[in-house]
């Protein structure tokens, strides 16, 4: 298309509008899912007397760091999910993306239930291994067709690795449980 064509901007606009409309569903679904997982996790997390009474390692950050860290992580997870979903070449790949993120969200919430509600850091440590593996699967699977999604999930893997180390330290300092 030649630049001297006075309609060149008008001709391009509908395509841009369609691209933006195509973003509505993945952005909405990913954002709502991330907010739901975050809200459930925050609701389940109880930093009351039981948690405060646990011996923790010297390298345990202040409690205020965790909600800030999770907020950033959930934002990155949301963007990664959108990128992976949009980059999926087939509807089957897109369904796998959704399924893997859903499984990961379930495992994320399950860890909070086991650790905080059931007060079983020992079982939570076993569960966090599954959560960690689900993140690795997300990185590998989504990274096959969206490099940015894979990279955006790396901080999540690092965060859960750190959380898993803290979980293990709590088990070692306070066990046995039950």
Residue 4 in any domain: the answer is: no
**Alpha-carbon span 166 to 171, nearest angstrom:** 9
Q: What is the DSSP string of 39-102?
A: HHHHHH---SHHHHHS---TTPPPTTHHHHHHHHHHHHHHHHHHHHHHH-SSHHHHHHHHHHHH
Residue 3 in any domain: the answer is: no
Choose between 5 and 68: higher pLDDT: 68
Residue 11 in any domain: the answer is: no
Short-list 158, 152, 172, 147, CA closest to 57: 172
Using pLDDT thresholds of 50, 70 and 90, give the confidence band for residue 67.
confident
Tokens 């391009």 sit on residue: 12
Residue 105 in any domain: the answer is: yes
Note the pTM of the prediction, 2 decimals.
0.79
The answer to whether the beta carbons of residues 105 and 41 sit under 8 Å apart is: no
**Alpha-carbon span 86 to 90, nearest angstrom:** 10
Locate 106 and state its tokens. Answer: 């379930």
The pLDDT, as a whole number, for residue 35 is: 77
Range of the structural domain that residue 51 is part of: 24-174
Which stretch of DSSP H or E encloses residue 14? helix 8-44
Residue 89 in any domain: the answer is: yes
Using pLDDT thresholds of 50, 70 and 90, give the confidence band for residue 115.
very high
Residue 47 in any domain: the answer is: yes
**Alpha-carbon span 101 to 85, nearest angstrom:** 10
Task: Give the mean pLDDT of 133-149.
Answer: 97
Q: Is 46's pLDDT higher than 90?
A: no
Q: For residue 149, give the CATH number of its domain.
A: 1.20.1260.100
Residue 9 in any domain: the answer is: no
Residue 45 in any domain: the answer is: yes
Q: Is 114's pLDDT higher than 70?
A: yes
> Structurally, how many domains does the chain consist of?
1
Using pLDDT thresholds of 50, 70 and 90, give the confidence band for residue 32.
confident
Q: Is 27's pLDDT higher than 70?
A: no
Tokens 């007397």 sit on residue: 49
């Amino acid at each position: 298309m030649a630049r001297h064509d006075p309609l060149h901007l008008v001709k391009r606009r509908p395509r841009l509008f369609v691209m933006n409309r195509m973003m509505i569903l993945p952005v909405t679904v990913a954002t709502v899912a991330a907010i739901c997982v975050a809200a459930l996790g925050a609701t389940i997390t109880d930093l009351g007397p039981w948690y405060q009474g646990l011996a923790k390692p010297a390298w345990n950050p202040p409690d205020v760091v965790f909600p800030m860290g999770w907020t950033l992580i959930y934002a990155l997870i949301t963007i990664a999910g959108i990128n992976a979903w949009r980059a999926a070449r087939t509807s089957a790949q897109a369904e796998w993306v959704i399924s893997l993120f859903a499984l990961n969200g379930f495992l994320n919430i399950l860890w909070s239930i086991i650790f905080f509600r059931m007060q079983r850091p020992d079982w939570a440590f076993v569960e966090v291994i599954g959560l960690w593996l689900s993140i690795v699967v997300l990185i590998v699977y989504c990274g096959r067709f969206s490099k940015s999604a894979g990279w955006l999930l790396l901080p999540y893997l690092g965060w859960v690795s750190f959380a898993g180390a803290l979980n293990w330290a709590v088990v070692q300092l306070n066990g046995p449980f039950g």
